Chain A
Amino acid sequence: MRPFSARARWGIWLTSLALLCGAAAMRLDPKHFINTDILAMLPAQQDAPALQAATEKSRDAFVGEVLMLVSGPDADATRAGAQAALQAAEAGGLAADQSGESVDDLLELYREHHYALLDQAQAQRLVTGGAPALATDVAVSLASPAGMVSAFGSDPGGHLASFLTALPQPYPGFLPDGPFFSALRDGQRIYLMRSVLPGEAFGEEGSKQAVAAVDAARAAVAAACPGCRFTATGAPLFADAARREAQQESVVLSVASTLLIMVLIAWVFRSFAPHVLAGLQLVASVLAATAAVILCFGSIQVITLVFGTTLLGIAIDYAFLYFAEYWFGGIEPKDVMRAVRPGLYLGLATGVLAFAFLLLAGFPALTQFAVFSVAGLLEAGLLVVLVFPVSLTRPPEVPVHAGVLWPQRFLQLACRAHWRRAVLPIAALLLAAPGWFMLHTSDDVRTLQNLPPDLLATDAAVRSTLNQVPPPGFFLIEAPTLEEALQHESALFMRIGADSPGLATLGLSRFLPSTADQKASLAAWKHVFDDPAALRAGFTRLGLPAKLADRTTAEWRDAYPETFAPETLFDTAPALKRFVLQDGEQVALIATVTGSGDVDPALLAKDAAAVPGVTFVDPLARIAATFERIRVRTTWLVILGYGLISALLVWRYGRREALRMLYPPLLALGLTLGVMGWLDEPLNLFGVVALILILGLGRDYAVFLREGGATRRSPALAVSLSAMTMLFSFGLLALSHIPALHVFGVATLIGILASFLSAPLSLPPESA
C-alpha cells in the first residue's frame, strides 16, 4: 500500500478533528459551554425528587446570601451609614431581603385569627381550667411587667402576645427596623442588612458583582458615617477570593512550568520544531477531548477541563518518544515511526484501556474524565502517527551532547547487575511502609479549599455578633398532605426543644399551626366562652370587673373565629412559601435549626429518625460520602484496569517479563502512598487522580524502554524528558496553597520521581 502523502496526512488529521469539533458544535449549548457547578458532577440520580429539590433550595438560599453589618456609637449616624450601604449594595446588584416587609401584614393576619393560635399546652390549660384559668391569664397579663403595655384590648390574656413572642427570630437579639435588623452591643448600634445575589454566586460574574457591590457599600459607609465600621460576609465573597487565588496561582505556576519545559526542550533538542509540535499536540488533544465530551454530554465541566488536561500530560510522552528517536536515535527520519510504533501503540492501548475503565464508574465526574482522556490520548497518538513523520523529514543537525547522554548513562548504571539494584528499592519500600498505616483519607470538601484567613475572621466576627452559626443541614418532612407535614414538624420541634433547649427551630409550623391545632385552640376558647356566668365569676373572684368578662365574651362572639388556611398565610407573607415543596401528591417541608454554637448533626439526625416522614439532611456530609464513594470506586476500577493491562503485557512479553515491567509502577505507587503518609498528606479524590497519572506514566516508561531497546539513547531520553516535564508541570503544584492542588502536586512529585528512578527495573539486569 502506498503511504499517504504529507498533504493527505494533514488533510486526514484536520478533517477528523474538524468533524469532531463540528459535531460537538451542533450539540453545544452556547450559554453553558463550561459548567462551573462542581456539585453537578456528583451523582444525583440516587436522590428522591423532594430531597433533590430541597437540597437545591437550601443551597440556593445559602450560596447567594451576603450579610453586611454597619456599627457605630451614634445611632442616627450609623443608621445613615447603613442606609447609604444599602443603596450602594442595591445599585451594585445585590437585592435586599424583602421578607421583613410583610411583617405588618402578618401581624394583622394573626390578630384577626388570634383565637386559632393557642399552642397545645395553652389549649389544654383552658380546657382543663375553664373560666378561672382565663381569668388568671388576664390578671397576670394586667399585672406582669411584661404585659403592662401589650395590646391588652384585643388580647386580654396575653395569648396572642405569647404566640408572637415565640415566632422565630431570624437573628436573635436583632429587631426588625425598617429595611434592617438592629441591635445594641457594647454601646455600639449595629444595623444588619441581608441581601441576596440574584445570579450564580459561584460563577465568576456573580461573585465579582457581589464583591464590587460590597466594596461600594463599604465606600458609601465611609462617606456617610466616617466613624462607622463596616463588615460583610457571604459565600459569594469566599467564591471570589478562591477564584482569584486559583487564577493567580495558576498563572504563576503555569508560566513557571512552561518556561522550565521550554528551556529543557531548547537545551536538549536545540530546535524550534519540538516546541511547535508539542504545543500543537497539546492544543489538538485538548480540543478533541473537549469536543468529545460536549458531543456526549452537551457541555463540559470546568473540573473535567482542569483535571482532564492534567491527565493528558501523559500524551506528551508520545511526542518525546518520537523526538528522542528522531533527533538522537541515530536512524533515518523515515524510519523513526517504525522504531517508535510498538512503544507508541502499546502505550496508547494501555492508556486508553486504563481510562476507559473509568467509564464503568457510573459517576458523572469520572465518566467525563474518561471520555476526555480517551479522546485526548487518541488525538495525541493520531497526530504523532499522521503529522510528525511528514513534519520531521530532514535529518537533524544537532550533535549529541551531555544533556542527551546522561539518561542513557543513568539507565546503563541502573541496569547493571548489582546488589544495589535489588536492595535499594526494597529498602525504600520498607522505609515507606510505615507511612501506609499513617495515611488517612479525607473526603470533606471543606478541606479542599484554602479560605483566606481575613475572610474567615470576618465571617466568624459577623456570626458572633449575630450569635448565630450556619446550621449543619436541614430537615425534610414528607407527608401526603401539608396538614400531616405540619403535625410531623411540630412533633419534631417539640423533640428538639426537649433534647437541645438552646437551639432555635425554624419551619413553617412556627408560623402556621396545623389545622388540627387551630381547631383545638378554637374548641378551648369555645369551652370557656360557652359559660359566661362562670367567666364573670372567675373575673370577679380576682377583683377584676365583671364587665371585662362580658366584653371579652362579646368579642369572641363578634369575631366569628375560624381557622386560617395555608394559602391565606402565603398570600400575606409569600416568603414563607420557601419552606414548602410540592411534588405531585406529596408535600415536603424544609425546616432547620440555628444555635449560638456548633450544632451536633448526629443529635439532629436522631431526633429526625424518631418522627415519621422526617429526614435530617447534612449536605456536606452527603457530598463527602459521595466523594468517598467515587474515590473508592475509582481505586477499584484502576486496580481492575491495571489487571487487564497486566494481561495485555503478559500476552505481549510473557509472564516473567510482564511482572518485571509492572514492578516499577507498583513500586512507585507504594512509595508515593508511604511518603504521603509520612508527610501527613491526606488521600482524597484528587490524590487518587494523581495515582492514576503515576501508574500511567510508570507503565509508559516501562513500555517505551522495553520496546525502544534496553539501554538505547533515545528511549532513555524520552523517558527522562517525560519525567522532567511532568515534574515541572505537576510537581510544582505541591507549592500551591489550595489543598486540592497541593495534594495532587505532592502525590505527582513523589510518584513521578519514583517512577523515573525505578523505570530501569522494568529491564532485565545486564552483566558488566
Chain B
Amino acid sequence: MRLRAMLPLLFLCALAARAADAPPASYAADFVQTRNLPGFDTAITSRGNLSYDKARGFHWEITSPYHYLFEMNGGKAREELPDGSQRALDPAQTPWLAAVQHIFVSALSGDQAELAAYFQVAVKPAGDDRRVTLTPKPGAIANAISRIEVTESGPGRPEHLEIFETSGGHMDIRFTPRAAAAP
C-alpha cells in the first residue's frame, strides 16, 4: 500500500550507501537513464543532470527527449512538467515526498541508518571502484525490487546505478560526474 512512498528515492539511498565514509558536501553529474520494461522490447532512454548540496538542495533534470525538472530544498519541492506547466509539492500533502526528503537529508548527513533498515548493504571492490549492492529486507520494498547495485568512484560519488525489479524490469543510470558542483 505504501510502496511508492518507500520506493521514491532509492536512488538517493544508493547515493547515501557509502556516504558515511566521507559525506560529500556537494555532488553534480550528467546521466543517461535507460529503462527496460517487462514485455516491451524497446528500451526507453533519457538524459539529464543532477546535483545536490546542503545549501541549494536536490536538483534533478531531464533534458532529453523532453524537459522535466524536480527540485527539492527544505520542506518544499516543485516540478516543471514536459507540457511547460509547474506544480508545487507539499510534503505534508505528498507522503512520498516526505520520505524523499527524509532520505535525502539522511544522505547528505551521511546517515546510513535509514538505508540499513530496509537493505542488506554489501560493499565489494570493483577494479579502482567499489560496488555497493543493496538487497531489500523482507517487506514492501522486496515485493518490487530484487536488488540495487551502485558502482562508485568514491564515497557518495556514484558512476553507475542499476535497479532490478521483481517484475523483470530493469533501470540503468550511468553518471558522468562534473568536475565541480555548480556554484
Nearest CB on A from B169, distance (A): 6
| Chain A 374-415 per-residue mask, 1 if CB under 8 angstroms from chain B, else 0 | 000000000000000000000000000000000000000000
B contact residues around A146 at 8 Å (CB): 4, 7-9, 70, 96-97, 100
Are A145 and B70 in contact, CB atoms less than 8 angstroms apart?
yes
Main secondary structure of the interface of B (DSSP, over half): mixed
Cα separation A146 to B101 with both chains bound (whole Å):
11
Are A139 and B95 in contact, CB atoms less than 8 angstroms apart?
no
Given A153-B37, A501-B92, also A543-B144 (CB < 8 A): no
Are A165 and B94 in contact, CB atoms less than 8 angstroms apart?
yes
Considering only residues 519-558 of chain A, those with a C-beta below 8 Å from chain B are: 542-545, 547-548, 551
Cα separation A269 to B94 with both chains bound (whole Å):
80
Given A165-B5, A542-B66, also A151-B167 (CB < 8 A): yes
Are A143 and B114 in contact, CB atoms less than 8 angstroms apart?
no
Which of B21-29, B57-65, B124-132, B150-158 contacts its partner?
A: B57-65
Cα separation A626 to B66 with both chains bound (whole Å):
65
| Chain B 18-54 per-residue mask, 1 if CB under 8 angstroms from chain A, else 0 | 0000000000000001010111101010101000000
A contact residues around B35 at 8 Å (CB): 142, 152
Are B4 and A150 in contact, CB atoms less than 8 angstroms apart?
yes
B3: interface (CB < 8 Å): yes
- Interchain CB contact (< 8 A) of A152 among B81, B140, B169: B169
A306: interface (CB < 8 Å): no
A566: interface (CB < 8 Å): no
B contact residues around A139 at 8 Å (CB): 66, 68, 81-82
Given A144-B70, A165-B95, A501-B93, also A175-B6 (CB < 8 A): yes
Are A136 and B83 in contact, CB atoms less than 8 angstroms apart?
yes
B contact residues around A107 at 8 Å (CB): 1, 3
Are B1 and A106 in contact, CB atoms less than 8 angstroms apart?
yes
Which residue of chain B is the closest to A189 with respect to CB atoms? B117
B122: interface (CB < 8 Å): no
Which of A52-60, A176-184, A353-361 contacts its partner?
A: A176-184
Cα separation A59 to B119 with both chains bound (whole Å):
40
B contact residues around A169 at 8 Å (CB): 2, 95
A contact residues around B44 at 8 Å (CB): 142, 544-545, 548
A149: interface (CB < 8 Å): yes
Nearest CB on A from B177, distance (A): 18
B105: interface (CB < 8 Å): no
A contact residues around B82 at 8 Å (CB): 136, 139-140, 143, 542
Interface residues on A, range: 35 or more
| Chain B 68-97 per-residue mask, 1 if CB under 8 angstroms from chain A, else 0 | 101000000001011100000010111111
Are A543 and B66 in contact, CB atoms less than 8 angstroms apart?
yes
- Interchain CB contact (< 8 A) of A176 among B1, B48, B66, B165: B1
B contact residues around A149 at 8 Å (CB): 7-8, 10, 144-145, 163, 165, 171
Are A150 and B7 in contact, CB atoms less than 8 angstroms apart?
yes
Which residue of chain A is the closest to B58 with respect to CB atoms? A145
Nearest CB on B from A141, distance (A): 10
Are A142 and B46 in contact, CB atoms less than 8 angstroms apart?
yes
Which residue of chain A is the closest to B173 with respect to CB atoms? A148
Which residue of chain B is the closest to A187 with respect to CB atoms? B113
Cα separation A136 to B85 with both chains bound (whole Å):
10
Are A544 and B95 in contact, CB atoms less than 8 angstroms apart?
no
Are A175 and B140 in contact, CB atoms less than 8 angstroms apart?
yes
Which residue of chain B is the closest to A156 with respect to CB atoms? B37
B contact residues around A162 at 8 Å (CB): 4
Cα separation A139 to B69 with both chains bound (whole Å):
12
A contact residues around B117 at 8 Å (CB): 75, 182, 184, 189
Given A145-B100, A149-B144, A547-B42, also A161-B4 (CB < 8 A): yes
Cα separation A394 to B140 with both chains bound (whole Å):
88
Are B2 and A175 in contact, CB atoms less than 8 angstroms apart?
yes
Are B95 and A144 in contact, CB atoms less than 8 angstroms apart?
no
Nearest CB on A from B44, distance (A): 6
B contact residues around A178 at 8 Å (CB): 138-139
Are A140 and B68 in contact, CB atoms less than 8 angstroms apart?
yes
Nearest CB on B from A259, distance (A): 61
Nearest CB on B from A698, distance (A): 61
Are A548 and B144 in contact, CB atoms less than 8 angstroms apart?
no
A456: interface (CB < 8 Å): no
Are A143 and B62 in contact, CB atoms less than 8 angstroms apart?
yes
Nearest CB on B from A111, distance (A): 11
Are A175 and B139 in contact, CB atoms less than 8 angstroms apart?
yes
Are B1 and A551 in contact, CB atoms less than 8 angstroms apart?
no
Are B42 and A545 in contact, CB atoms less than 8 angstroms apart?
yes
Are A177 and B4 in contact, CB atoms less than 8 angstroms apart?
no
B contact residues around A296 at 8 Å (CB): none
A599: interface (CB < 8 Å): no
Cα separation A319 to B182 with both chains bound (whole Å):
97
Nearest CB on A from B167, distance (A): 6
- Interchain CB contact (< 8 A) of A542 among B12, B37, B65, B165: B65
- Interchain CB contact (< 8 A) of B140 among A142, A165, A166, A176: A176
Considering only residues 108-122 of chain B, those with a C-beta below 8 Å from chain A are: 111, 113-114, 116-117
Given A136-B83, A148-B11, A542-B65, also A164-B4 (CB < 8 A): yes
A-B contact pairs, 8 of them (CB 8 A): A136-B83, A144-B60, A145-B70, A150-B3, A166-B95, A175-B2, A502-B92, A543-B66
- Write the residues of chain A forming the contact surface with B, with a CB cutoff of 8 angstroms: 75, 103-104, 106-107, 132-133, 136, 139-140, 142-153, 161-162, 164-167, 169, 172-173, 175-178, 182, 184, 187, 189, 501-502, 542-545, 547-548, 551
Query: Beyond A149-B7, A153-B167: 10 further Cβ-contacts under 8 Å?
Result: A142-B44, A145-B70, A148-B33, A149-B165, A165-B2, A177-B139, A189-B117, A542-B66, A543-B65, A544-B44
- Write the residues of chain B forming the contact surface with A, with a CB cutoff of 8 angstroms: 1-12, 33, 35, 37-40, 42, 44, 46, 48, 60, 62, 64-66, 68, 70, 79, 81-83, 90, 92-98, 100, 111, 113-114, 116-117, 138-140, 143-145, 163, 165, 167, 169, 171
Smallest CB-CB A-B distances: 6 pairs: A543-B65, A143-B68, A146-B8, A143-B62, A161-B4, A542-B66
